[in-house]
Amino acid sequence: MNGRGRELPDNLTITGVLEELGYDERSVSVERNGQPVSASLFAELTVNDGDRVEIVKGSGDS
């Protein structure tokens, strides 16, 4: 997760990961394994063991 390893519950979707880490899914961009993930897929795509997930907060958010 953003360059650091994290232990998370199994079978989390991108939405679940964002909730677990305290991010508002409306204010972030996400990449999984180097590929951008459309916000419309956050609730469908599962993060698997070994996946690299990058979360970028939108500018102007505090």
Please state, for a pLDDT cut of 90, what percent of the chain lies above it. Answer: 71
Q: Give me the mean pLDDT over the 30-57 stretch.
A: 95
Check whether 3 has a pLDDT greater than 90.
no
Q: Give me the mean pLDDT over the 17-34 stretch.
A: 95
Torsion from C-alpha of 55, 22, 8, 45, nearest 10 degrees: -60
What is the pTM (predicted TM-score) of this model? Answer: 0.81
Domain ranges for the chain, please list them.
14-56
Check whether 1 has a pLDDT greater than 80.
no
CATH level 3 topology of 14-56: Ubiquitin-like (UB roll) (3.10.20)
**The two three-digit tokens of residue 34, written as one number:** 């180097």
